[in-house]
Structure 1
Amino acid sequence: MKIDLTDTTASKINKALVEGRRAIGTPAVGMVLTMVIVTDEENAYDAIKAAEEASHEHPSRTLVVIKRHARLRDRTGSRLDAEVRVGSEAGAGETVVLRTYGEVSDHAGSVVLPLLLPDAPVVVWWPVDAPEAPAKDSLGALAQRRITDLYAVDNPLEVLDTRARTYAPGDTDLAWTRLTPWRSMLAAALDQARVKVTSAAVEAEADNPSAELLARWLEARLHVKVDRVVSEGPVVTAVRLGTDEGEIVIDRPDGPLATLTLPGQPSRTLALKVRPTSELIAEELRRLDADEMYAIALTGEAPKENA
């Protein structure tokens, strides 16, 4: 069910949500969080689709904020349009697409605040064009978790350094989430081999932010210098850990399968696919506390408790 509202207010949107739920017989009590997506018109469809797929695991109210420019002949124009989706149109939760015009765009936090689920955590996700300091953004300040994506920027390694300077507990990035299978396999391999790592290398396409985060994480955890080796890609293609007994290697030149090699053991094949955005978002929503491992990879040290 869809309800279109033009030149509306937050109270009218809340009323439309109630009417929509009543019409389809769906209560709001089953939703566990509010997901706020800040995006542009071009990327809105893919972001909404990913959030709706993730909502099957984490039923949520999704608020999509799309900032639009007022018409040139009406520079002072200020308006809020909304599209309310409930039932099958909104996954396992409900979705409100908010299009803001003029001065309303400068006060998106005030627009979103009355629409948040009461007593439920808030997650803000910027699929593109995230602010320099997400925690200081008017929308980011409302959230327990703030999700960005270094894959969506032109100079990811430069932006990564900026994120390190502006990091606050609750920040995370999908470039880090993409590494979860790699980190799990490396941890399992080191548990099996039980040897001291003396050197390391990460192979990936040039300027890949996930590869840089992985290298920083390995340096922080293993206390060795990690070489960055440029490969043809796609994304991260291999990790090599040198030991006195031989190399530990996870090699994924292409496709969904990787080869794990341990000293003195036969090679084995492991599943290591590139996951869709919906799976990455669903993983981030499973825990909403500060991601200390991301902070370590980003800044080289654990966040302070009073940060």
Structure 2
Amino acid sequence: MIIDLPSTTTSNVNKKLVELRESGGAVALGRVLTLVIVTGDGSEVEEAVQAANDASREHPCRVIVVASGARQAAPRLDAQIRIGGDAGASEVVVLRLYGPLADEGAGAVVPLLLPDAPVVSYWPGQAPDVPAKDPIGALSHRRITDAAAEPNPIAALHKRVRSYTAGDTDLAWTRLTSWRAMLSSALDLPPHENVTAAALKGAPDSPSTDLLAAWLAVYLDIPVTREDHPRQGSGLYSAVLERPSGNIEIVRPDGKVGSLTQPGQPDRRIALQRREVRDCLSEELRRLDPDEIYHITLGGLDKIERATDRPDDEADEEAAAEAGKGQS
């Protein structure tokens, strides 16, 4: 069910929520948190709501979407309430703020927060320079950003280093859970030797590749080289851990299935499907305490050695492809 409330107030939205609860039997006390999504007034809204709806099946919550409209318009608040099949296991309130109200998202959110429930804020697109100092971020126990969705993902990631406050996290880090688990389990198998160095390859715009390299550099205390894969948007391509008896190597060429190679073990194909936003969001909503490992990993970004030169055969292949385009 979707109820539109054009040119309304937060007081009227609250009254309507109570009315719907009394008539439909929805129990607000069953919600475990309030998830505030801050976005523009475009297609991002529906994508973010869908991800939140899917995550809410594991974490029933009230979802408040703050969508900023045209700042040149007259001050106006349009609201939309979604419950039932249109809201997963949550209740969704979409607030569209226009004119001077576009900068007053926190003031519109406060009256709609669930009492005595944690608040999590999420920016599916461009995030504030310092999320914890943003008015909505200041209300939140946890703040979730996504460097991969920013115009310049690598610059956004380094901005996270400077702005980090306990409670911050980024979905570029959450997408690495499967990679970190695979590498850790591989090191648990014999031969139990120290890793001497590591090399990672990923798209030049992949913040997850940088974070995995930093994680290895910090926790294994080894030199780590980060090489660019020529294809933008291809994410993390491979990770190699060097050991005296032979390397541990994970390669994921298609973004779906990877291969794991290590000494004394048969080669294995492993599931490394790129994680959907809903899965990453659901994982982050499982915890409300600071992610200390993420914080420490951010501090290791300056330990990465960047390999700027690509192998000659790879460069030759790309040059030949470009020449073929020019002839066609």
Specify the TM-score bucket, using the shorter chain as the normaliser.
over 0.9
Match in the other structure for 2:69 = 68
- Separation in 2 of the partners of 1:109 and 1:295? 26
| Deviation digits for residues 251-301 of structure 1 (CA, Å, limit 9, x no counterpart) | 111142211112222111211111211111101101111111111111239
1:231-270 residue pairs with structure 2 within 5 A? 231-232=229-230, 234-270=234-270
Query: Shift in Å at residue 97 of structure 1?
Result: 0.3
Q: 1:119 to 1:227 in 2, by over 3 A?
A: same
Percent identical: 50
Match in the other structure for 1:49 = 50
- Give the counterpart of 1:101 among 91, 98, 102: 98
Match in the other structure for 2:309 = none
Q: Secondary structure at the match of 1:253?
A: coil
Query: Shift in Å at residue 245 of structure 1?
Result: 1.0
Amino acid across the alignment from 2:151:
D
1:164-203 residue pairs with structure 2 within 5 A? 164-193=161-190, 194-203=192-201
- Separation in 1 of the partners of 2:228 and 2:163? 28
Query: Shift in Å at residue 22 of structure 1?
Result: 2.3
Query: Shift in Å at residue 7 of structure 1?
Result: 2.2
- Separation in 2 of the partners of 1:296 and 1:81? 42
Q: Secondary structure at the match of 1:8?
A: coil
- Separation in 1 of the partners of 2:255 and 2:181? 19
Match in the other structure for 2:152 = 155
Q: Secondary structure at the match of 2:104?
A: helix
Q: Does the CA-based 8 Å contact 1:3-1:16 persist in structure 2?
A: no
- Separation in 1 of the partners of 2:147 and 2:71? 29
Q: Does the CA-based 8 Å contact 2:41-2:96 persist in structure 1?
A: no
Match in the other structure for 1:212 = 210
Residue range with higher mean Cα deviation, 98-107 or 59-68: 98-107
Match in the other structure for 1:88 = 85
Q: May I ask how many residue pairs the two structures share in their alignment?
A: 297
- Separation in 1 of the partners of 2:205 and 2:271? 25
Query: Shift in Å at residue 210 of structure 1?
Result: 0.4
- Separation in 2 of the partners of 1:207 and 1:117? 38
Structure 1's unaligned 5+ residue stretches are 302-307
Q: Does the CA-based 8 Å contact 1:256-1:274 persist in structure 2?
A: yes
| Deviation digits for residues 19-41 of structure 1 (CA, Å, limit 9, x no counterpart) | 12223222111111100000112
Match in the other structure for 1:4 = 4
Q: Does the CA-based 8 Å contact 1:69-1:101 persist in structure 2?
A: yes
| Deviation digits for residues 77-112 of structure 1 (CA, Å, limit 9, x no counterpart) | 322110011111211110000011122222211110
Amino acid across the alignment from 2:68:
K
Q: Does the CA-based 8 Å contact 1:82-1:97 persist in structure 2?
A: yes
Structure 2's unaligned 5+ residue stretches are 302-328
Output the aligned Cα RMSD.
Answer: 1.4
Q: Secondary structure at the match of 1:197?
A: coil
Match in the other structure for 2:14 = 14
